[in-house]
A and B are shown apart, each in its own frame.
Chain A
Amino acid sequence: MKELTKGIYRENPIFVLVLGLCPSLAVTTQVVNGIGMGIGTMFVLICSNIMISLLKNVIPDEIHIPAYIVVIASFVTILDLMMQAYLPALSASLGVFVQLIVVNCVILGRAEAFASKHGVWDSVKDGIGMGIGFTLSLVLIALIRESLGAGTITLFPIESLGFNGEIRIPGLVNSPARVMTLSAGALLVMGYLKAAINGINERKGR
């Protein structure tokens, strides 16, 4: 249980470990992109954790980095092809960042720090936990950036309910602070969130 929940807050990959920043800031202009990217990363994280913990006795220490990279890159390519084939709209809006999951330090970091030292089952749980933590953080950042920057919250459209996937926030939608959707806004949001988490931890520690 501990392996599953640690990623959400105590060892949150983005806010506490400060890993995997590039995709988290680049794609979080819309909530739906954040969810897509989070789930994609979780898929690669779980698969690569399984493979690496299975292969940990076969891979000599000297070549572990290239070997891990090949494993991770293969799963990323599978994800990329699958997304292009079955979720073309999401794949188009995430763009080159799907391929860049390869260099997401969270994945290589977990392979190195966890999966190469633990059994398959623990590594799966670690992958799920970290993946959930990563996804939730992306959604949080995206929620702030999209609601302030565009005045909308974009989710998946549900046709049966006549919901087109976009919630418009009254007031904000007509005069959004567009800078929040740009890189400057992303860095500012990240800084304030990290400061808030530091503040909360400090208060708890006291």
Chain B
Amino acid sequence: MNPILDRTLRLAVICSVAALLLGFVNSLTAPQIEQHKKEELQRALNELVVSGEAGEAEALDNILVSARYPITDGGDLTGYILALNGSGYGGEMKLLASYSLDGTLLKAILMENNETPGLGKKAEKSEYMDKFIGRGQEGNPIPTVKSMLEKPDAVGGSTITFTGVSRALAAGSDYIREGN
């Protein structure tokens, strides 16, 4: 046989076997991965709601705020959970944050980020968000530079992570106040 044809065929056989195998593994793991993502989102939503319950997602056409989940308590709208995009050191970060209707931040969770492991990861610890909580209403904005904090030294992690997180949270607060 022509040596080039022979080599091409062998390589093609190896590739197709590999593709078949991967397809098989994917069909096993895909539902599991989907399940994990759903569970993680649900857990985050439950944690964010202070009282009442979160509704269905509504996708939004906004660069910073990509979706909102209305929070209802006994049928009344009490606030929104927003899916926010912030930019950090290692690229995009996704946050979920709940706000009351006047724009006050109730709770926030960092969902996905590619930050330097260990460093930006500090923002995943729940205490990190404490300094933003309860602010965001008219006249009490969410701090977007470290000097706006009472104890700026207490902020661990990099400035970039801080800026990324705080700007996203502030944008969410602005969105709520402008919308209502």
Q: Do A and B touch, yes or no (CB under 8 Å, in the complex)?
A: yes
Chain B residues with CB under 8 A of A29: 116-119
Main secondary structure of the interface of A (DSSP, over half): helix
Q: A92 with B32: in contact, given A29-B117, A30-B117, A62-B7 (CB under 8 Å)?
A: no
Chain B residues with CB under 8 A of A178: 119
Please report the C-alpha to C-alpha distance between residue A63 and residue B29 in the assembled complex, in whole angstroms: 31
B32 touches A67 (CB 8 A): no
**Size of interface on B: residues with Cβ below 8 Å to A:** 26
Please report the C-alpha to C-alpha distance between residue A59 and residue B32 in the assembled complex, in whole angstroms: 35
**Inter-chain residue pair count (beta carbon < 8 A):** 74
CB-nearest residue of chain A to B39: A88
Please report the C-alpha to C-alpha distance between residue A77 and residue B7 in the assembled complex, in whole angstroms: 24
Does A74 make an interface contact (CB < 8 A)? yes
A82 touches B25 (CB 8 A): yes
Please report the C-alpha to C-alpha distance between residue A73 and residue B18 in the assembled complex, in whole angstroms: 9
A63 touches B25 (CB 8 A): no
B33 touches A81 (CB 8 A): yes
From the candidates B14, B21, B22, name the one contacting A67 in the complex (CB within 8 A): B14
Chain A residues with CB under 8 A of B117: 27, 29-30, 33, 93, 95
Q: How many whole Å from B150's CB to the nearest CB in chain A?
A: 20
Does B15 make an interface contact (CB < 8 A)? yes
Chain A residues with CB under 8 A of B14: 55, 59, 67, 70-71
CB-nearest residue of chain B to A73: B18
26 A-B contacts, Cβ less than 8 Å apart?
A: A29-B116, A29-B117, A29-B118, A29-B119, A30-B117, A59-B14, A60-B3, A63-B11, A67-B11, A67-B14, A70-B15, A73-B18, A74-B21, A77-B25, A78-B21, A78-B25, A81-B22, A82-B25, A82-B29, A84-B29, A84-B33, A85-B29, A93-B117, A95-B117, A146-B118, A181-B119
Give A residues with C-beta under 8 Å from B.
27, 29-30, 33, 55, 58-60, 62-63, 66-67, 70-71, 73-74, 77-78, 81-82, 84-86, 88, 92-93, 95-96, 146, 149-150, 178, 181-182
